[in-house]
Amino acid sequence: DGVCGLLHLAITLGGTRTIQFRSPNEMHEVQLDPGSFYLTSPFLFDHGVRYAKASEDTGSLLTLMCRFGFFNEKDTLWAGGEHGPRMHNITEIIATCLKDAIDTSELRLPTLQEVRAWEEDHQLPAQS
């Protein structure tokens, strides 16, 4: 992953996939079924994703992925070239901010009930 993977939110909407990642001493695998999500920095560690074959039981794979975007190539190249102490400082700041926001419930995913209520309040007119 490039620098756009510095902060990455993935939500599995359909199907099944498995994320694999390495800690210093071992490999880990986490199965992601519909409703599963993760917030991570894949730019910073070795990882891979294994996709299950679609079937009548699992359905097609559909994943919503949210990542950083840069407005111009210059910023992308600058950030992508940072791999030393400055990038370490940047990642520590991001991790601290995320932890603080999660601990105070400022950052959270909506509940299914909240999503359904929003859908009800914002129904689009039927297309003909």
Q: In what order do the strands lie in the sheet with 37-40?
A: 37-40, 8-14, 62-67
The alpha carbon of residue 85 and the mean position of all alpha carbons in its chain are separated, in whole angstroms, by 24
Residue carrying structure tokens 């914002």: 122
Position 81 scores a pLDDT of 64
40 touches 8 (CB < 8 A): yes
Is this model's pTM higher than 0.75 or not?
A: no
Position 28 scores a pLDDT of 92
Position 32 scores a pLDDT of 92
Name the DSSP class of 55: -
Q: Which helix (H) or strand (E) holds 39?
A: strand 37-40
pLDDT tens digits in sequence order for the chain, 128 residues long = 566 777 888 999 888 899 998 888 899 999 999 889 888 887 777 788 888 777 777 678 888 888 877 777 777 777 666 667 877 888 888 889 889 998 998 988 888 899 889 988 988 666 65
Position 127 scores a pLDDT of 61
The alpha carbon of residue 34 and the mean position of all alpha carbons in its chain are separated, in whole angstroms, by 14
